[in-house]
Amino acid sequence: MTAFDPVSLRAQFPALARQLHGEPVAFLDGPGGTQVPRRVIDAYGTYLRQHNANTHGAFITSEESDQVVDAAHAAIEDFLNAPAGSVRFGPNMTTLTFMLSRAVGRLLGPGDDVVVTRLDHDANVTPWVLMAEDAGAAVRWVDVDPTDCTLDMASLDVALAGRPRLVAVGMASNATGTINPVRDVVQRAHAAGAWTFIDAVHFAPHGPIDVEALETDFLACSIYKFFGPHLGALFGRPERLAQLPQYKVRPAPDAIESGTQNHEGMAASIEALEYLAEIGRGAGAQHRAAFPSMTGRRLDLHAAMTAVATYERTISQRLLAGLLVIPGVTVWGIADAARLSERTPTVALTLAGWSPHDLAAELGRRGIFTWDGDFYAVNLVERLGLADSGGLLRVGFVHYNTLAEVDLLLGDLREIAASGRP
C-alpha cells in the first residue's frame, strides 16, 4: 500500500491530460523539468493580474509584492529546513552557481584546490573550474566507479589531501539517478578545511532535504524540477554569505538577488510547495514521525518528500526488474534491488542496435516522452565511453507517474528490442 494515491494527485496537473493520436502520453521527462499543478499556473496569473509591481513602494500593489517575496523565501526555507534569511532566488541553479563562483573566487589564490566530480551535471563543474583558472587555483577530480556510477570515495580522499577550499558535489546524478553520500562528503571536506556546495537539483523532487542535517555551506536547486515555475534557489549559511565579496549596485540590499526578481514566479513557487505540503498532511504517521523537531509546513513538506521517496522506490523496483530482462538493454547505474534507497527513479540505459536519439524518437512517436544524450553530465558520459555513440536514454519518473506507465514503457521497449534496428 503506497503512502498516497498518484492517480488522484494527477488530476491536479492539467498537462497530464495531454493526448497523442487519441491516447494518453507518459511524461517520463521529469529530470529535465516536471509538470505543474493547476494552482501553480493560477498563482502566476493572479500575481500579474492583481499584484504586479516592483517592491518597497508606498502603495498597495508594491506592499503586496513585498509580501509575496517574503512568503516565497519562507516557503523555500521550510522545504530545505533552512534558517530565516538564508535563501536567495535566481533564474536557475546554473546562473546562481556562476554568480556564487565569481564571489568565492575572490577568496582563492595559487596553492588552493577546488574539488569537483566526474558524476556531476556540468553546472556544478564548469563554474568552479573557471573560477579556479581565474584565481590560479588547482582543480582536483573525484572519479566515478563505472560499474554502478557511484562516486569513488577513495579518490575523494586523494583530492582532499592538498589545500581544498571548496568541494562541489551533486546530491544525486541527473543522468543515472545515483544518490551520493553527501553528508559523508561534507564531513570529509570540512575536516580538510573546505567549504561545500551541493547541487540538489535532481534530488529535490525525490526526497527530503535538510541543510541543517547536511551541514553544507551552500546548496542550490531549481524549482521547475519540483513542480514549480522556472526559478532557482540558493541556500547559503548566513555566516558564509556574509564573508562573500559583494558584486552589486550600491543601493541593492543583496548581491545574489541582483536587480528586480521574478515576483510572479515566486508567487507560483509558494503554491508548488503548498501542493507538496498537502501531500505531507495526508502522509502516514511513520513519515511524519521521522521529523520530531519539525512543526507546521516544514514538517508537512519533509513528510511529503519521505512519502514520495517511499512510493518512488516501488516504481524503481518494477522498472529495473523489467529492464534487466529485455534482450539488448544495458542499465547504467545502480540496478540492485537491494540498493533502491541509493537511487532515484531516474534510469539511464542503452539498447543494442539503437542510438539513444533514435530510441527516444521512437518512444516519442508512441507517446512516451524521454530524454537522450548526456544531459550536461558531460564528464560521466565520457567516463562511460558513450560520448561518441550518442550517450544514454534517460527515463525519469516522479510521484505523479504510475506503475501502469512503467508497464507501458517496458512493453514498448520489449516490442522495439524484438523489432531489431530502426
Separation of alpha carbons 96 and 99, rounded Å = 5
Separation of alpha carbons 257 and 120, rounded Å = 25
> Please, where are the H alpha helices in 215-283?
238-243, 263-281
Closest CA to 240 of 86, 78, 74, 75: 86
Backbone angles phi, psi at 294, to 5 degrees: -105, 155
pLDDT tens, position by position, 98-125: 999 999 999 999 999 999 999 999 999 9
- DSSP symbols for 65-112: HHHHHHHHHHHHHHHHT--TT-EEEES-HHHHHHHHHHHHHTT--TT-
pLDDT tens, position by position, 370-381: 999 999 999 999
pLDDT tens, position by position, 251-285: 888 889 989 999 999 999 999 999 999 999 998 89
Separation of alpha carbons 237 and 309, rounded Å = 27
* Domains, in order of start, for the chain: 6-36+306-417 (3.90.1150.10), 42-273 (3.40.640.10)
**pLDDT, position 284:** 87
1 pLDDT above the threshold of 50: no
149 pLDDT above the threshold of 50: yes
**pLDDT, position 422:** 67
C-alpha cell at 260: 528586480
- pLDDT (mean) for 319-340: 98
**pLDDT, position 4:** 63
User: Does residue 315 contact residue 397 with C-beta atoms inside 8 Å?
Assistant: yes
- pLDDT (mean) for 146-170: 98
Separation of alpha carbons 266 and 288, rounded Å = 27
Q: Which residues contact 239 (CB under 8 A, 6 or more apart)?
A: none
**pLDDT, position 223:** 98
pLDDT tens, position by position, 177-216: 999 999 999 999 999 999 999 999 999 999 999 999 999 9
- pLDDT (mean) for 376-401: 98
**pLDDT, position 306:** 97
Separation of alpha carbons 319 and 397, rounded Å = 10
Q: DSSP 3-state assignment of 53?
A: coil
Q: In angstroms, what is the C-alpha Rg of the chain?
A: 22
pLDDT tens, position by position, 20-72: 999 999 999 999 999 999 999 999 999 999 999 999 999 999 999 999 999 99
